[in-house]
């Protein structure tokens, strides 16, 4: 029940001895105060929250703000926010007064592409406290912060027999942990013998001319991502 005032009138009869006339009476006003009992829990303004942030965001970057209300009065309705204790490893922090969630560590999408955390809204009741929680999911957006990596263990290719046009020579094994266009690979050949070979977008090198055995060729394979890092 919310705090409010109720007014009631009560009539008091003050009567003289039996048989006396007229009878005497008076009235008085009685005010009843109904005290708040902290019987309401905080309520968030959304059923859940989602947000996005780039992985290169600096520490202290604001992500979003959660909001809850409590219809109780005074301390019973004063809300403080926190993250569930099991989320201590989160790279985020929440302002206990405003509900603003911000970064407290550097982010890396290649390690964790999203985070889900439980946010608690708790009132400040003196006798007991009411609380509620809600999930917040933060998606980490990719930034082109990784160059392609060539994973081949050797850089020399040995050919036992002569090659004809289109014969397989070597396969460059490369990857880029970024996503989308940031992780899309493009292969190129360079060097004095590059014209004798070609490389496709899977890193497969083939001969473009007939090649005799025991010949030595020098090539450089370069891998670029979609934004030009190599």
Q: What is the pLDDT of residues 3-38, one digit of tens each?
A: 444 444 444 444 444 555 667 777 878 787 766 678
Same domain, 10 and 61: no
Kindly state whether residues 61 and 21 are assigned to the same domain. Answer: no
In this structure, is residue 230 part of a structural domain? no
Instruction: Give the number of domains in the chain.
Output: 3
- Select from 67, 98, 96, 102 the least CA-distant residue to 82: 96
The parent domain of residue 210 ranges over: 149-224
pLDDT digits (tens, 9 = 90+) for 93-147: 999 999 999 999 999 999 999 999 999 999 988 888 899 999 999 999 999 999 9
54 with 29, same domain: the answer is no
What is the domain-level CATH number for residue 157? 2.60.40.60
pTM of the model: 0.74
For residues 161 and 178, state if they share a domain. Answer: yes
């Amino acid at each position: 029940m919310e705090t409010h005032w109720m007014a009631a009138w009560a009539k008091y009869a003050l009567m003289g001895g039996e048989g006396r006339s007229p009878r005497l009476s008076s009235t008085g006003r009685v005010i009843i105060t109904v005290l708040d009992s902290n019987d309401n829990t905080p309520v968030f303004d959304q059923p859940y929250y989602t947000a996005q942030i780039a992985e290169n965001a600096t520490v202290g970057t604001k992500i979003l703000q959660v909001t809850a209300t409590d219809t109780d009065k005074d301390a019973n309705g004063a809300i403080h926010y926190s993250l569930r204790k099991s989320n201590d490893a989160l790279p985020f922090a929440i302002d206990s007064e405003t509900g603003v969630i911000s970064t407290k560590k550097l982010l890396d999408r290649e390690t964790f592409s999203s985070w889900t955390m439980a946010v608690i809204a708790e009132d400040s009741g003196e006798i007991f406290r009411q609380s509620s929680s809600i999930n917040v999911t933060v998606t980490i957006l990719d930034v082109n912060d990784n160059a392609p990596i060539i994973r081949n263990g050797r850089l020399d290719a040995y050919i036992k027999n002569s090659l004809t046009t289109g014969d397989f020579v070597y396969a460059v094994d490369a990857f880029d942990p970024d996503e989308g266009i940031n992780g899309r690979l493009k292969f190129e050949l360079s060097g004095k013998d590059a014209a004798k070979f070609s490389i496709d977008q899977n890193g497969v090198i083939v001969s473009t001319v007939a090649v005799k055995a025991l010949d030595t060729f020098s090539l450089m394979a370069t891998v670029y991502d979609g934004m030009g890092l190599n």
